[in-house]
Amino acid sequence: MKILTLISGGVDSTTLAYFLKSGGNYQEGVIFTYGQRHIKEKQFAETQGSLLGIKTTIIPIVLPVKSALKGSSEIPDGHYTDASMKQTVVPGRNSIFLSIAYAMAVSLRFDAIAIAVHAGDHTIYPDCRPKYIGIMESALQLGTDTEIKILAPFVYLPKRSIVNTGKTLGVDYSKTWSCYKGGEFHCGKCGTCTERIEAFSQAGVKDPTIYKEVK
């Protein structure tokens, strides 16, 4: 299968790319920037692309919407599923990412695009839920008269299972980035840092991440 994978430099999409590679698929990566408050994600996505030996394409998106991830407000500390994390929603982000990736897949004759949404995303991020992914796939297929698939193999998995999968596949998690704040080290207190810490802990996998402080 020829697959175009959305990679962000984080734990989930990095593991997804290794998982798909292990299945013997031809793979390329697409990296989206959309005015995030830092470029750490992009840098780590490129690093992981190199480690995987796959071609990556960077697509900058102009997106005039408000989100804490774009600097419209402070990044909230707390748990990944806290209501305060709604400030970190970029509305419809995955619709934009999937639409552009799908268009590339049609033009470049890929069989599928792949996205690393997982069960832990469902509470706060509606564009990570299974029903959304299914209907978006139908819409994109209808809109292009094609049958390219949207693969989301982790959509029902908790993050700890992703970490276990990646450990087996030899992912170097020290070269992935989660923190919303984008400092020199992971802050250890924002929603995605607490989720990362919890996932390694629950998976029983040694966390190679350096945290500025742990909540």
Q: Which of 210, 159, 160 minimizes the C-alpha distance to 187?
A: 210
User: Is residue 35 involved in binding a second copy (CB under 8 A)?
Assistant: no
Q: Which of 211, 205, 48, 39 minimizes the C-alpha distance to 116?
A: 48
User: Is residue 140 involved in binding a second copy (CB under 8 A)?
Assistant: yes
Coil vs helix vs strand at 168? helix
User: Is residue 107 involved in binding a second copy (CB under 8 A)?
Assistant: yes
Burial of 206 (0-12, 13-18, 19+ CB in 10 A): exposed
Nearer to a second copy, 24 or 142 (CB): 142
Residue 159 neighbours by CB under 8 Å, 6+ apart:
11, 12, 118, 119, 120, 195, 196, 198, 199
Residue 203 neighbours by CB under 8 Å, 6+ apart:
160, 161, 163, 164, 167
User: Is residue 1 involved in binding a second copy (CB under 8 A)?
Assistant: no
Q: Which of 57, 84, 123, 202 binds a second copy (CB under 8 A)?
A: 57
Q: Which of 37, 38, 129, 175 binds a second copy (CB under 8 A)?
A: 129
Q: Which of 96, 179, 190, 197 binds a second copy (CB under 8 A)?
A: 96
Pick the stretch among 39-47, 137-145, 179-187, 201-209 that binds a second copy (CB under 8 A).
137-145
User: Is residue 183 involved in binding a second copy (CB under 8 A)?
Assistant: no
Q: Which of 21, 26, 35, 59 binds a second copy (CB under 8 A)?
A: 59
Q: Which helix (H) or strand (E) holds 112?
A: strand 112-114
User: Is residue 115 involved in binding a second copy (CB under 8 A)?
Assistant: no
Binding residues vs a second copy (CB under 8 A): 57, 59-67, 90-96, 98-100, 102-104, 106-108, 126-127, 129, 131-132, 135-136, 138-140, 142-146
